[in-house]
Amino acid sequence: MVSTDGFIIASLLPNEIDEELVSGMAAALLGVGERIAHELMGGAMEQTYVRGRQGYVILNAVGAESLLIVLTTPDAKLGLVFLDIRRRVTELSKIV
């Protein structure tokens, strides 16, 4: 989890992944996602994701000030991932 400013709140990333890089990129993606959601869809961004050769990066809003970032492999079952994210966001929004 990161704040909307890109500061790490909590992390379970493997040691070889730079947490600060991930949180900074998430903040940048949030800015773009929010602008697209506002300008093209007339609402707030709830979730955005990027698909690459090595998997997915999924950002999901948790309240107004934090984001849940999920990294997956390319063969992840997205329906199950989205279901789990929805459940975790509900739990996390009670804490944050």
> What is the structure's pLDDT at 96?
81
What CATH superfamily classification does 2-95 receive?
Answer: Dynein light chain 2a, cytoplasmic (3.30.450.30)
Task: Say if CB 68 and CB 60 are below 8 A apart.
Answer: yes
**Sequence ranges of the domains in the chain:** 2-95
> What is the structure's pLDDT at 14?
87
Which segments in the chain show pLDDT lower than 70?
none
Q: How far apart are CA 80 and CA 60, in angstroms?
A: 15
> What is the structure's pLDDT at 51?
95
Task: Say if CB 60 and CB 4 are below 8 A apart.
Answer: no
pTM of the model as a whole: 0.86
